[in-house]
Amino acid sequence: MKNTDCAKNKGYDAGKKVSGIKRHIVVDTQGLPHAIAITTANITDRSGALEAFKKHRSTLESVQSVLVDGGYTGKPFADGTSEILGATVQVAKRSELHKFVVIPKRWVVERSFAWLEKCRRLWKNCERKLNISLQLTHLAFLTLLLRRL
């Protein structure tokens, strides 16, 4: 997510060529959040996911399997997940390159990110501190859940 100039905490993601922050969310099969971590963009996705697992270990203690996309492959991530949660890692890989195909279950987390994008305050990171961005993300999910009642 891109930052504005006033943001204090920001990093540079060389892969996407963007200066800003990253949101790491852990959702269940219905897209409801169970763990959220906000990091600067220079932190890798794997490290950010492990940070989210560590912060919310008590909430995620009953998780047996974690479904991730191809960006989370590798033995260090699988070992870290096993150590923190005691869960196995399943990687949902694409079957063919350069063709749009919906990967089973992968769309669930993308839908959760789309729900966040409905909140205008979260389109761009204007906050000076990462903790405020985290609280606004929690508030956005809470608002979305209350609308469904």
pLDDT digits (tens, 9 = 90+) for 12-56: 676 777 777 888 899 988 888 899 998 888 888 899 999 999 999
Q: Each residue of 120-149: pLDDT tens digit?
A: 767 666 667 777 788 888 888 888 888 877
DSSP 51-84: HHHHHTTTTTTT--EEEEEGGG-SHHHHHHHHHH
Distance of CA 50 to the CA centre of its chain: 11
Residue closest to 58 by CA, chosen among 32, 25, 86: 86
Which residue is it, tokens 């063709």?
99
- Please answer whether residues 40 and 10 qualify as being in contact, where contact means their C-beta atoms are separated by less than 8 angstroms: yes
Contacts of 119 by beta carbon, 8 Å cutoff, 6+ apart: 136, 140, 143
> Model's pTM, two decimal places?
0.80
**Higher pLDDT residue, 98 or 43?**
43
pLDDT at 81: 93
Q: How far apart (Å, rounded) are the C-alpha atoms in residues 61 and 9?
A: 30
Q: How far apart (Å, rounded) are the C-alpha atoms in residues 4 and 127?
A: 8
Q: What is the third-level CATH fold of 11-141?
A: Nucleotidyltransferase; domain 5 (3.30.420)
Q: How far apart (Å, rounded) are the C-alpha atoms in residues 132 and 19?
A: 18
